Amino acid sequence: MLSILIPCFDYNAYPLVCEVEKQALILDLKFEIVCIDDGSFSLKNELNQKINSIPNAKFIESKKNLGRIKNRLLLAETSQFDWLIYIDVDTTPQNKNFLKKYIAHIGENSYVFGGRHFDASSNTKAGALRLKFAKNREEKKAIERTKNPYKFVCSSNFMAHKAAVLEALNQIDNRSYGNDYIFGSILKSQSMPVIHIDNPVIVNESEDNEVFIEKTKNALSNLFENYKKNKIGKHSISILKAYKLLEFFCLISIFLKITAFMKGNLEDNLKSKNPNLFLFDLFRLRYLCAVSVN
């Protein structure tokens, strides 16, 4: 009936596995839980080996790093049931009816996305940018996500039929960060029905500002590469719309020159305790333009 899939990298997955197993047993489901570590060779995998002692659960250590998408693809290929739920390893279901809310949609020809919740109590100067961006741009109720369903596609918490997942993931060949843009674009190009529900996972880990900025740069490089390959033409991405407007009016070089003197101040603000999201948008647009001329 249900395969619960947990992509892992250098993380103790055992508590999450125990929680979803408990919910599955209460519902008397036919299920499996599969967790694959993506070649981290972490000492935490000694803890993860305990997963193999849980009935209907298994932990697998990859011998090489496949990347986020290929690890998710391997999970789907390894699964034995037709319906898949993906849960990121650094998250926790917010409520005890997490699985129950998902299985209510089994049988529908749709992707079902549950959403995310970010814990504001973990706010620090070092992680202020990631948390502020997440709370303002990513943490949305289902009614808001439904207004623009493909924009809020997120691979960290969703359910779909195995065949649909395999078809989508096999079209993504990039190993880098930011592939949810591509994932959403693929679903839109397929006219795949998307359902958003209020069934969030709590994101447990805060992310350092500098790490988040580097991941953002990787995501923008990935975005531009796929834009040039015409893989995301139908997807609604605000930063790409702004770039295309500058491109249409041949203003990219002028924009880069005008904003060059701001570059240092932009990064200082983004690493501060109270980063400005408008300046972050400006930083992202400038980086995307810089990638386009290199």
| Statement: residue 36 has pLDDT above 60 | yes
d(CA 206, CA 137): 16
Determine the average pLDDT of the residues in 164-175: 87
- Per-residue pLDDT reduced to its tens digit, 49-100: 999 999 999 999 999 999 889 999 999 999 999 999 999 999 999 999 999 9
Q: What is the pLDDT of residue 136?
A: 95
Who wins on pLDDT, 116 or 206? 116
At 122, the pLDDT band (50, 70, 90 cuts) reads: low
Token duo for residue 116: 């995310």
Domains in the chain, CATH or no CATH each: 2-115+152-205 (3.90.550.10), 211-293 (no CATH)
Q: What is the pLDDT of residue 71?
A: 95
Q: Which of 96, 104, 97 is nearest to 2 (CA)?
A: 104
Given pLDDT bands bounded at 50, 70 and 90, which one contains residue 235? Answer: low
What is the distance, to the nearest Å, from the Cα of residue 152 to the centroid of all Cα atoms in its chain?
10
* Residue range 96-114, pLDDT digits in tens: 999 999 999 999 889 999 9
Res 231: pLDDT = 77
Instruction: Report yes or no: 157 and 201 within 8 Å, Cβ to Cβ.
Output: yes
pLDDT of residue 82: 96
Query: What would the DSSP string read from start to end of 44-92?
Result: THHHHGGGGGSTTEEEEE-SS---HHHHHHHHHHH--SSEEEEE-TTEE
pLDDT class of 257 with cuts at 50, 70, 90: very high
Question: Has residue 263 got a pLDDT over 90?
Answer: no
| pLDDT of 175 above 70 | no
pLDDT of residue 121: 75
- The predicted model scores a pTM of 0.93
Mean residue pLDDT of the chain comes to 93
At residue 5, the pLDDT reads: 99
pLDDT at 233 over 70: no
- Residue 170: pLDDT band (50, 70, 90) is very high
Query: Is the per-residue pLDDT at 188 higher than 80?
Result: yes
Output the pLDDT for position 205: 75
Cα 12–Cα 119–Cα 15 angle in degrees, nearest 5? 20
Residue 271, exposed/middle/buried by CB under 10 A (0-12, 13-18, 19+)? middle
pLDDT of residue 179: 85
The residue type found at 200 is: P
